[in-house]
Amino acid sequence: METEKETTAIQKTQVYLENYREIERYIKDAISEVSQIDDVSRYNISAEKAFLQSIRECKAETVILFEHMKKALASLKEDAEAAGEGYKYDALEAVYIKGKSYEDIVRETGCGKNSPKKWCRSMTERLSIKLFGAKAIENDKIGVK
């Protein structure tokens, strides 16, 4: 019998980062108001009000998560720069925010082949604490290094 493991804060942080640009796009493009529909007369909108409310709620939750992520990323950047590790944050931002590959970073910086992945992993661990607080430390057995 296999038991399902709980997703760790680091794993959740990784998923959020991997979907950062898609979350941003969802906030911009989600149809949550009747006024956003071009040919509203084609639809029975009164029957869809509950669904639109559901989308509004989902969009609101997504906006809150996204703003929390942006604030946590800004704090991470500040901490990394203060520690002389701004290049590690830059790698994280390049991969997850700008959509570059690890190979792109290697080419641009001249670093070792595995360095960008290691840098991103280190920054992801630190970001997980900023996103999930003490729960990240307890569940993942990590601490700021």
Which residue is listed with tokens 């942080």?
A: 13
Phi-psi region of 112 (alpha: psi -120 to 50; beta: other; left: phi over 0): beta
Q: How many angstroms separate the CA atoms of 80 and 70, rounded? A: 15
Q: What is the mean pLDDT of residues 74-91?
A: 98
Per-residue pLDDT of 60-80, as tens digits, reads 999 999 999 999 999 999 999
Predicted pLDDT of residue 2? 46
Per-residue pLDDT of 97-135, as tens digits, reads 999 999 999 999 999 999 999 999 999 999 999 999 988
Q: How many angstroms separate the CA atoms of 60 and 71, rounded? A: 17
Task: Give whole-number Cα distances, 105 to 2, 70, 80, 83, 110, in Å.
Answer: 40, 22, 18, 21, 8
145's tokens: 């290094």
61's tokens: 């939750």
Predicted pLDDT of residue 41? 61
